[in-house]
Amino acid sequence: MEEQNLPRREREKLRQRQEILAAALELFSQKGYHNVSMAEIAEKAEFAIGTLYKFFQNKEDLYKALVLEQCDKFEEAITRAIEQPGDEVEKLQNYVRARVERFLNNLSFIRLFLAERRGASFNIKAGLDEELRQRYYKFLERVASIFEDGIKNRRFKKTADPYYLAAALDSAIDASLLLWLEVPERHPDLDPDAILGIFFNGLLES
Amino acid sequence: MEEQNLPRREREKLRQRQEILAAALELFSQKGYHNVSMAEIAEKAEFAIGTLYKFFQNKEDLYKALVLEQCDKFEEAITRAIEQPGDEVEKLQNYVRARVERFLNNLSFIRLFLAERRGASFNIKAGLDEELRQRYYKFLERVASIFEDGIKNRRFKKTADPYYLAAALDSAIDASLLLWLEVPERHPDLDPDAILGIFFNGLLES
DNA sequence: TCAAAAAATGAATTAACCGTCATATTACAG
DNA sequence: CTGTAATATGACGGTTAATTCATTTTTTGA
């Protein structure tokens, strides 16, 4: 990380900032932006209200920092997976596995993320919504390009526009993971490769 | 509808109620629950604030009524499509087409619905969230049973658990529709059968 | 036509909570 | 150890918005 060689005071500050963000993440993901007060965040993080304002200009700023930071982590993890060497099948396998892993390690953020990525756009968060959308579309393009390459290399049939394929795969992952999260007793198996199987192996008996 | 043979006064009331709900739907889907005030809804519906409280106990109650009513309509339309006679392939085609059609006719609610169906659960709406989840899972089961039948009848290969297939298809529909909604210039074609094609025709070259 | 009942109204009440800032506490240098 | 600077605190001012209810308006039926 970049914590390395900063003055002691600065490192301390960064750690405090992280603690506030952690408390906020937990609360926001449980109750949603509007149902969490600064007082609550302060109490959970064990700071005074005023202290929060030393780190963040206002509630919205705190929220943005939280979401963007988590997005960065998400993108880093997924990028690493996609950039492993291998053919398109392997890349997609790595992608789905990384998605699943990240999901399992970050349940609280996932709730927030899904709510944000697709939710109605709130005036109060104007700008963030648009930025997230843009980032998501760029990210989808990278997955789409795997499909595209696969088609070029005659490994995949062109069953649909690569971008739609990417969107479909990505949302199918979300759906499967949410299912597993919300009714685990009915759907115990969570096999990343099974999700891909839906796309690889056509349903129709030929 | 059930408006038929009610006293004039009652019919009048129902119509007023609908007007309030229509105004609320538009506002909520544009700005989100917390960014719409009762005063705004009242003004848009051309009633006094107090009048809203003759129809709904409070803001949350109004919101619940709105969402549940729209869900009813959604379920009716989809049920009608699924219950058309035909083999499993035709049923799935009808299902996807009905989903697309409903989407196009109800853009404002779709935004609300997607936000609600997957969004973080808000305390304030406790109960509604759970009900929606339950209804959605029941609905998924019906789609899943089409896949199940198709597998039994040797029309489909068993590429995955039918319930996961249903969830994947359903969310792929959402994803494609949202894509089309948000960046129509890049993704002009919106062909229900193309979405199904992804699931029917395997990607892998054999 | 008119008085009683029903319905509609929106000003006033009340509650929540964001963000400030005067004060208290802590850290630090001399 | 002490005075000063840096930091932390949380009570409070101000604003927004949900809900109530006394009053006005409309409807009803005799």
B90 and B149 belong to one structural domain: yes
Cβ–Cβ gap A204/B120 under 8 Å? no
- Asked whether residue A168 is assigned to any structural domain, the reply reads yes
Q: In the predicted model, is pLDDT for residue B125 greater than 60?
A: no
Residue A186: phi and psi, rounded to 5, are -85, -25
Query: In terms of C-beta density within 10 A (0-12 exposed, 13-18 middle, 19 or more buried), how is residue A144 classed?
Result: buried
Q: Model pTM?
A: 0.81
User: Do B194 and B147 share a structural domain?
Assistant: yes
Asked if the structure places residue B205 within a domain, the reply is no
Shortest distance between the Cα of A120 and any Cα of chain B, in A, equals 6
Q: Which of B56, B76, B99 is where one domain is finished?
A: B56
Q: Tell whether A206 is within 8 A of chain B (Cβ).
A: no
Residue A198 near chain B (CB below 8 Å): yes
Examine residue B35 and state whether it is found in any structural domain, yes or no: yes
Domain range holding B22? Answer: 1-56
The Cα B180–Cα B69 span in angstroms is 26
Per-residue pLDDT, averaged over B64-93, amounts to 87
Q: How does pLDDT run across A67-99, given as a tens digit for each residue?
A: 889 888 888 998 898 889 988 888 888 888 888
In a domain, A15, yes or no: yes
**Are A76 and A29 in a shared domain?**
no
Same domain, B25 and B79: no
The answer to whether residue B50 sits within a structural domain is yes
CATH number for the domain including A92? 1.10.357.10
Q: Tokens representing A169?
A: 């795969």
Q: Residue A73 domain-assigned?
A: yes
B160 lies within 8 A of chain A by CB: yes
A63 and A38 co-located in one domain: no
Q: Are residues B7 and B69 in the same domain?
A: no
Indicate if A87 and A42 belong to the same structural domain: no
Q: What is the 3-state secondary structure (H, E, C) of chain A?
A: CCCCCCCHHHHHHHHHHHHHHHHHHHHHHHHCHHHCCHHHHHHHHCCCHHHHHHHCCCHHHHHHHHHHHHHHHHHHHHHHHHCCCCCHHHHHHHHHHHHHHHHHHCHHHHHHHHHHHHCCCCHHHCCHHHHHHHHHHHHHHHHHHHHHHHHHCCCECCCCCHHHHHHHHHHHHHHHHHHHHHCCCCCCCCCHHHHHHHHHCCCECC
Q: How many CB pairs under 8 A join A and B?
A: 179
Residue type, A173: I
Q: How far apart are CA A125 and CA A63, in angstroms?
A: 9
CB contact under 8 A, A168 and B122: no
- For residue B34, the domain's CATH number is 1.10.10.60
Q: Distance between CA atoms of A72 and B204, rounded to whole angstroms?
A: 32
A126 touching B, CB under 8 A? no
What percentage of chain A has pLDDT greater than the value 70?
Answer: 83
pLDDT surpasses 90 at B15: yes
User: How many domains, chain B?
Assistant: 2
**Lookup: nucleotide whose C1' is closest to A57 CA:** C19
**Strand pairing partners for B156?**
A204
Q: Do B88 and B33 share a structural domain?
A: no
Q: Are residues B140 and B43 in the same domain?
A: no
Q: Is the CB of B9 under 7 A from strand D?
A: yes
Nucleotides of D under 7 A from a protein CB: 7-11, 16-22, 27-28
B88 domain residue, yes or no: yes
B84 and B143 share one domain: yes
Taking only the tens of pLDDT, chain A with its 206 residues reads 455 567 777 788 999 999 999 999 999 888 888 889 999 999 999 999 999 999 999 999 999 899 889 888 888 998 898 889 988 888 888 888 888 888 777 777 766 655 544 333 333 344 556 677 777 888 888 888 888 988 898 988 888 888 888 889 888 887 887 777 777 776 666 677 788 888 888 867 76
Across the interface, of B156, B161, B203, the residue whose CB is closest to A156 is B203
Q: Looking at the structure, do residues B43 and B70 belong to the same domain, yes or no?
A: no
> Do B34 and B87 reside in the same domain of the chain?
no
